[in-house]
Amino acid sequence: MERAEEVARSLPAVAAAGEPGRVNPALLKALAEAGLLGDIFRRDDTGYAPTSATALCLIREGLARHCTEAETALALQGLGAYPILLAGSAATVEAWIPRIAAGEVAVGFALTEPGAGSDAASLTLAATRDGDAFRLSGEKTFISNAPDAAVYSVFARTSDAGSRGITAFAVPGDTEGLRGTRQTMVSPHPIGRLTFDEVYVPAAAVLGEVDGGWRVAMRTLDMFRPSVGAFAVGMGQAALDAAVAYTADRRAFGRPLREFQAVSHQLADVATRLHAARLLVHDAAAAYDAGGRTGHLSAMAKLFATETAQLAVDVAIQVHGARALEHGHLLEHLYREVRAPRIYEGASEIQREIIARHLYS
């Protein structure tokens, strides 16, 4: 985490130079040159392999404390590429992962649809047979790095068997019939819609097995959900650090704000919750790395960490007062950044449902 923090401190200027709502190629290149993308796409004599969930969490928390744009750029590369890395053929992996790891191209994770968000298994993007190949027709929305990505991990319906009728594909962004538009979000990350009009995808582009795409998606999300919690913890810690520094010096009614119990005890509660969130994140990541049953642990980590980060930022703003709401202030930035993690990769309500089902399993 210390190396990630050191790298993050050098990246705010690179991040600021990018165009809001678009992939920042210079930022991807900087992450690659610093070795952080290489850390999540490890290469040895036998090829590429996933990193550990624990290492991913440490990197994401370290980046989030000092440059959320860099954290998001790294996370979107990982989320979009891991279905390819986990389930792609050797040729597909070799075609894309080296370029992604080098920061040369962006990649997207295309699961969500206008009518299939939290209920992702109800997706309707159709993949119909065309000989040994497929034709994809439909729409995806809130897709990472769209429409700038060079390749997307796309999940489409190949049969009517619910979650057992979904197949994953690696689809190049310049494929004929594939179009994208940008979506303007509260926090201006590269997010967009994709429209598929009879997009031809060869059989070699299938990730894993036909009708086995849901397993690919869940393997990816189970690994990344704890690290969403790590991202949240990093933002929450940045907010707490700012609040502690401010209240240590700011005076009101003749004494520092830190001497008001109504202020210091709020920060004490935030510090306690952040420490608990970090432990939950590390526990879920360790369980994933050990190969255990981790769905409920990942859900607990993401739920508690993202909700805690929202509280941490809100408390930090409250003790700062109106100055924290000025455009460009760190806490104004974090206030916009911290909201989305409670929704994406499974909203808080979905995480509670996962936990509850585990209780009765």
CATH code, domain with 11: 1.10.540.10
216 contacts 86 by C-beta, under 8 angstroms: yes
What span, in angstroms and rounded, lies between the C-alpha atoms of 222 and 76?
15
Same domain, 231 and 336: yes
Strand partners, 135: 128, 200
Q: Map residue 112 onto helix, strand or coil.
A: coil
Closest CA to 244 of 215, 264, 223, 217: 264
The CATH number linked to 266 is: 1.20.140.10
Closest by CA to 184, choosing from 73, 331, 20, is 20
Query: How far, in whole angstroms, is CA 12 from its chain's centroid?
Result: 19
CB atoms within 10 A of CB 2: 8
Are residue 150 and residue 239 in the same domain, yes or no?
no
Tell me which DSSP letter residue 351 carries. H
Q: Which amino acid is at 253?
A: F
Please tell me whether residues 219 and 341 are part of one structural domain.
yes
Strand 206-207 to 166-172 pairing: antiparallel
Look at residues 212, 236, 267 and tell me which one is the last residue of a structural domain: 212
**Nearest-angstrom CA–CA distance, 32 and 175:** 26
Single out the residue in 83, 106, 129 at which a domain terminates: 106
* CA angle centred on 342, ends 64 and 193, rounded to 5°: 90
Q: Which of 65, 73, 1, 66 is nearest to 30 (CA)?
A: 73
On the CB side of 209, CA atoms within 13 Å amount to 5
Q: In total, how many domains does the chain have? A: 3
Looking at residue 293, its pLDDT comes to 79
Do 90 and 18 share a domain, yes or no?
A: yes
Sign of the torsion angle spanned by Cα atoms 93, 95, 98, 104: negative
Are 77 and 125 within one domain?
no
Domain that holds residue 18: 2-106
Contact 169, 206 (CB under 8 A): yes
Residues tagged active-site: 345
Residue 31 half-sphere exposure, CB side, CA atoms within 13 Å? 37
pLDDT tens across the length of the chain (361 residues): 788 898 889 999 999 999 999 999 999 999 999 999 999 998 877 788 889 999 999 999 999 999 999 999 999 999 999 999 999 999 999 999 999 999 999 999 999 999 887 787 789 999 999 999 999 999 999 999 999 999 999 999 999 988 999 999 999 999 999 999 999 999 889 999 999 999 999 999 999 999 999 999 999 998 899 999 999 999 999 999 999 999 999 988 989 999 899 999 999 999 999 999 999 999 999 999 999 778 899 999 999 999 999 999 999 999 999 999 999 999 999 999 999 999 998 899 999 999 999 999 8
The pLDDT value given to residue 155: 98
Q: Are 187 and 336 in contact (CB under 8 A)?
A: yes
User: What was the pLDDT predicted at 321?
Assistant: 96
CA distance 341 to 144: 13
* CATH code of residue 194: 2.40.110.10
- Indicate if 98 and 158 belong to the same structural domain: no
What letter represents residue 51's amino acid?
Answer: T
Q: Are residues 304 and 326 in the same domain?
A: yes
Q: Point out the domain boundary residue: 72, 88, 106.
A: 106
pLDDT of residue 292: 78
Residue 51 backbone dihedrals phi, psi, to 5 degrees: -75, 180
